[in-house]
Amino acid sequence: MNQLNVTIRQSSWRPRRFGVEESLLTIPRREAWQNPGAEPFVVIKNVSKEYDRVTPLRNVSLSIYKNELFSLLGGSGCGKTTLLRILAGFERPSSGKVFIDGVDITNIPVFKRPVNMMFQSYALFPHLNVFDNIAFGLKQDKLSKTLINDKVKEITKLVNLSGFEGSFPDQLSGGQKQRVALARCLVKQPKLLLLDEPMAALDKSLREVTQFELVNIQERIGVTFILVTHDQGEAMTMSSRMAVMEEGKIKQVGAPHDIYEFPNSKYVAEFVGRINFFEGIVLEHQLDQVLIESSEIGCVCNATLAGTVPVGTRVTYAVRPEKIMMSTLRPAYPRNWVKGVIKEIAYLGHISTYHVQIASGKVVVATLPNLLRLDDRNFQWEDEVYLFWRAENSIVLTT
Amino acid sequence: MNLGESSGVQRALDAVRNSALYKSVKNVKFFLALLPLSWLILFFLIPVMVILKISFANSVFGIPPFSEVFKWSANNIIEITLNIQNYLNIMGDSYYIQSFINSAILGTITTVTCAVFGFAMAYGIHCVRDGLRTPLLLLVSLSFWTSFLIRVYSWINMLSAHGVVNSFLIRIGLIDEPIRFIGNYYMVCIGLIYCYLPLMIFPIYSALEKIDKSCVESAWNLGCSISRTFWTLILPVSSSGLKAGCLLVGTASLAEFVIPELLGGSDSLTFGRVLWMEFFNNLDWPMTCALSISIIALFVIPLFICRDRERERN
């Protein structure tokens, strides 16, 4: 039973993102993290890390379920890499515990953990060829030569590296190096695979292909992945769930679309995509509907909000640029629109970004798909336009 | 749009490549390579050829103290007289052979000991925190700032019959008679190791510095304990530095004259001393040259063969 178990697995969360027809046909399944009875696979419990002067991690708790592709997202210095290194065992937490599959691994040394890590620099051994690089971990386990041969052969096939076994790392391209690094980790059949900025060293076109490749491999072998990245697009493309971190704390955990559409703070809202913020005061709150008066917009806006907000609270009203519509005609209804003048237009090919200055002087960003060719475009510089949006597409942030 | 731009860049690059300036810059590179090459030919290859020539001459009284190998006689004939007696003497005389063997043993012991201690020291310096590394390296190179001769001579001051160590031991009553430290091969070995250790530390240190830290972590991550990581990763990857250090220490200690002369006593028989005696005491230039050529053949040529074999393997 030492053979690698490469089975095609039906992912519990995949249909929703890739196959529209599938998600319509099948009854939406509850994800593991939505099921209160589900046992988390990786548990990070009140983990803090303190150095002499800096505190990269402050009381972080996180549960990750089996077969997830979980992303830790954050700017530099937010503690995401420290958390990854604690999981790998390169760092000991100052306090708190880490469990994998129910076992407390907080004090288990690096080389005895069922965890493998793929480094940002790939960290391939320069003196060994591709075969020996991949076989390195198996040799440490003192497996028989034929078994090592079989396993390496299988994994090189999986990552599409057959024929490169004799090459040395400095003869490989960036993408090939990355696949060797991945194979080297996967061949050990870890319970948990950690990836530190796996795409950082690849160029943009290769990055997109590799993101899907990595997700496919993860689906096929069914290993839990934890990925560290500063690129929100990468995290959103690949992950089942992600955690946004700032200053050693986790700001929000959730599926990519949840975090994008329902951020819980200004920081998260801004980090995962462009957004327009307006300061406002709550006028009225009935059921899930709020009325907000914003002097910055110059009108009363309404939005849906699940929680309760007392009347008179200062809040931030936020709308994402792609949720804003634009017209030269004045909307017929009294709320959720504002008049402005187009100051800048950025033509990006598939979309255009408009910077519209409104009466309060604030510049609102709106993106519109270029449905027409450039010459037939309706809007030009210095045009007076009306920006409007739907109440359910706006966000109310209390923090 | 993008395509046009790149072809424009391409055209500009081609224009630069075809310009006279670029070609002359390329020639400058060639001249830069020529400079060290001609230096080596002028001051290394030609002198070695001269030594090779003299090694086949006869020793005579006069100036110069050797016979001509190439003679231009009448009728436009070049007479070449090769005297191989010197080489036969070297091969037949146990005195020379013993000096070769002694030097080889001393060189090997020095190189191996330096390799072990040098690696340990280089690895130690590599492992300490950032701020300590430069001072430690400075301490290692500090020994180069003192004259080599003084450093060797101070060992005599320390260990001679009336030296610091013996005086101290007699003073505290541990011994009655001074111990004879100086004047044997052990002392020569200690002197060689002491002097040439820095030559080993620097190349190994620079090789260690080149190892990606995440490579080491990745070895741990793949199941290597810390000691196994050393044998399977750190040692093989830094072997280039180790080899360079061994080459430096090996060649330097092999031909060393001063240390055996000062610390080995009058009867120490090493290659460097034999060379000195043949040249300055016996004034036998051809013999000295033959000895020099022999040592090149014996120790340097195998090195080249080793290197070539390694190149083939890669």
Q: Enumerate the domain spans of chain B.
A: 94-283
Taking residues A115-131, what's their average pLDDT? Answer: 93
Class level of CATH domain B94-283: mainly alpha
pLDDT of residue A10: 40
Q: Would the pLDDT of A175 be above 80? A: yes
Q: What percent of chain A has pLDDT over 90?
A: 61
Whether B212 sits inside 8 A of A121 (CB atoms) is yes
Whether A88 sits inside 8 A of B212 (CB atoms) is no
Tell me, yes or no, if B189 comes closer than 8 A to chain A by beta carbon: no
Give dist(CA B122, CA B201) in Å, integer. 5
pLDDT of residue B229: 92
In our burial notation (b when 16+ CB lie closer than 10 A, e otherwise), range B261-271 reads: bbbbeeebbbb
Maximum alpha-carbon separation in chain B: 95
Residues paired with A281 in a beta bridge: A293, A314
Taking residues A175-195, what's their average pLDDT? Answer: 93
pLDDT of residue B207: 94
Number of helices (H) and strands (E), helices first, in chain B? 17, 2
A20-40: pLDDT as tens digits: 444 444 444 567 787 777 889
pLDDT of residue B243: 92
pLDDT of residue B256: 87
Taking residues A252-279, what's their average pLDDT? Answer: 93
pLDDT of residue A29: 53
Structure tokens at B94: 């146990």
Cβ proximity of A277 and A265 under 8 Å:
no
pLDDT of residue B189: 92
Taking residues A138-154, what's their average pLDDT? Answer: 93
CB pairs under 8 A between A and B: 58
Nearest CA-CA distance, residue A338 and chain B, Å: 37
Distances (CA, A) of B155 to A15, B167, B186, B225: 80, 14, 13, 42
Distant-in-sequence, close-in-space partners of A18: CB < 8 Å, separation ≥ 6: none
Whether A140 sits inside 8 A of B223 (CB atoms) is yes
Do A276-397 and A14-114+190-266 fall under one CATH topology? no
Nearest CA-CA distance, residue A245 and chain B, Å: 24
Give dist(CA A268, CA A119) in Å, integer. 26
Class level of CATH domain A14-114+190-266: alpha beta
Distances (CA, A) of B296 to A20, A151, B254: 78, 50, 11
Closest residue in A to B225 (Cα–Cα): A111
The pTM score is 0.77
Whether A110 sits inside 8 A of B218 (CB atoms) is no
Annotate A222-283 with DSSP letters as a single string.
Answer: T-EEEEEES-HHHHHHH-SEEEEEETTEEEEEE-HHHHHHS-SSHHHHHHTS--EEEEEEEE
Q: Which candidate, A302, A218, A202, A316, places its Cα nearest to that of A267?
A: A316
| Most confident stretch, A201-215, A239-253, B72-86 | A239-253
Going by pLDDT thresholds of 50, 70 and 90, the confidence category of residue A65 is: very high
A350-376: pLDDT as tens digits: 999 999 999 999 999 999 998 888 777
- In chain B, what residues touch A185 (CB-CB under 8 Å)? 222
Q: Which candidate, A146, A190, A192, A183, places its Cα nearest to that of A162?
A: A183
Whether A141 sits inside 8 A of B217 (CB atoms) is no
Domain edges within chain A: 14-114+190-266, 276-397
**Of B218, B225, B237, which has the smallest distance from its Cβ to A119's Cβ?**
B218
Interface test with A, best of B1, B218, B235, B243 (most A CBs within 10 A): B218
Whether B236 sits inside 8 A of A184 (CB atoms) is no
Tell me, yes or no, if A125 comes closer than 8 A to chain B by beta carbon: yes
Structure tokens at A210: 């590799």
Whether A137 sits inside 8 A of B217 (CB atoms) is no
Tell me, yes or no, if A124 comes closer than 8 A to chain B by beta carbon: yes
Whether B217 sits inside 8 A of A136 (CB atoms) is no
Give dist(CA B80, CA B77) in Å, integer. 10
Closest residue in B to A187 (Cα–Cα): B222
**H/E element holding A208?**
helix A204-221
Tell me, yes or no, if B237 comes closer than 8 A to chain A by beta carbon: yes
Tell me, yes or no, if A32 comes closer than 8 A to chain B by beta carbon: no
pLDDT of residue B314: 61
Q: Would the pLDDT of A8 be above 60? A: no
Pick the CATH number of A276-397 from 3.40.50.1820, 3.40.630.10, 2.40.50.140, 2.40.40.20: 2.40.50.140
Nearest CA-CA distance, residue B21 and chain A, Å: 34
Tell me, yes or no, if B94 comes closer than 8 A to chain A by beta carbon: no
- In chain B, what residues touch A135 (CB-CB under 8 Å)? none
Least confidently predicted of A146-150, A176-180, B33-37, B264-268: B264-268
Q: Which residues of chain B have pLDDT under 50?
A: 1-4
A295-338: pLDDT as tens digits: 888 888 888 887 778 888 899 999 999 999 999 999 888 888 99
Q: Which long-range contacts (CB under 8 A, 24 or more apart) does A287-290 make?
A: A289/A391, A290/A396
Distant-in-sequence, close-in-space partners of B291: CB < 8 Å, separation ≥ 6: B90, B96, B271, B274, B275, B278
Between A195 and A53, name the one with better pLDDT: A195
Q: Which candidate, A113, A121, A158, A173, places its Cα nearest to that of A140?
A: A113
Cβ proximity of A153 and A147 under 8 Å:
no
pLDDT of residue A344: 93
Interface test with A, best of B222, B243, B314 (most A CBs within 10 A): B222
- In chain A, what residues touch B217 (CB-CB under 8 Å)? 88, 90, 110, 117, 119, 123
Whether A119 sits inside 8 A of B217 (CB atoms) is yes
Whether A120 sits inside 8 A of B214 (CB atoms) is yes
